[in-house]
Amino acid sequence: MQGILPEAEADTYRRVPVYISGSWHVPPNWVKIPDLMADWIQQYAGGSGAEHPVPFAARAHIDLVRLHPFRDGNGRTARMLTNFLLMQMGYPPAHYAAEARERYLAALRQFDQSHDPAPFTALTGEAVEWMMDRWLALLEQVQEGEDESGAPPRRPTR
């Protein structure tokens, strides 16, 4: 958040109460954030165990945005950490398309109301599947471009 927030706030947990636009959820008191983040890190740093990586990463995302530990950039941070967790477990990153922003926010709002992670987990699964489809299409293109020796096509030079 450097260059976006004042320097004193760019790399620290928030020190003010916040309210999330369009949400009924009120994030925890800022005084509790360091301890809650320590708990969040402990819960998710160990990996998914027996839980499937997609629901695990989706739950980590939901839990982080509900904490809202930073004054700004919480959604971006949650998406980045979700992708880190997914890639750490051998999955492609989730591509939450800008066109699906309203569905993304609606799934988070639905969790606020029902505490049911299924809609957000489904959205995350679709975002991972979209990226996996792109990767597979790219691999097919590379395979089609190989010559008889099995060497990949040469990249054009400038």
In tens, the pLDDT along 70-121 reads: 988 899 999 999 999 999 999 999 999 999 999 999 999 999 999 999 999 9
Task: Give the pLDDT confidence score for residue 157 in this predicted structure.
Answer: 55
**Any domain includes 74:** yes
**Any domain includes 8:** no
Task: Give the pLDDT confidence score for residue 158 in this predicted structure.
Answer: 47
Q: If DSSP codes are grouped into helix, strand and coil, which group holds residue 34?
A: helix
CATH number of the domain residue 136 falls in: 1.10.3290.10
Q: Which of 19, 31, 14 is nearest to 70 (CA)?
A: 14
**Residue tagged active-site, from 52, 61, 68, 95:** 68
Q: Region 8-26: what's the mean pLDDT?
A: 82
**Any domain includes 22:** yes
**Any domain includes 86:** yes
d(CA 3, CA 10): 8
Q: Region 137-147: what's the mean pLDDT?
A: 80
Q: Calculate Rg over the CA atoms of the chain.
A: 19
Per the structure block, which two tokens stand in for 114?
Answer: 């029902």
**Any domain includes 54:** yes
The total of structural domains in the chain comes to: 1
**Any domain includes 5:** no
Per the structure block, which two tokens stand in for 71?
Answer: 């004054």
Burial of 140 (0-12, 13-18, 19+ CB in 10 A): exposed
Its domain, for residue 88, covers 14-140
Q: Which of 91, 55, 98, 107 is nearest to 76 (CA)?
A: 98
Residue 95 annotated to the active site: no
d(CA 123, CA 130): 10
- 2: β partners: 5
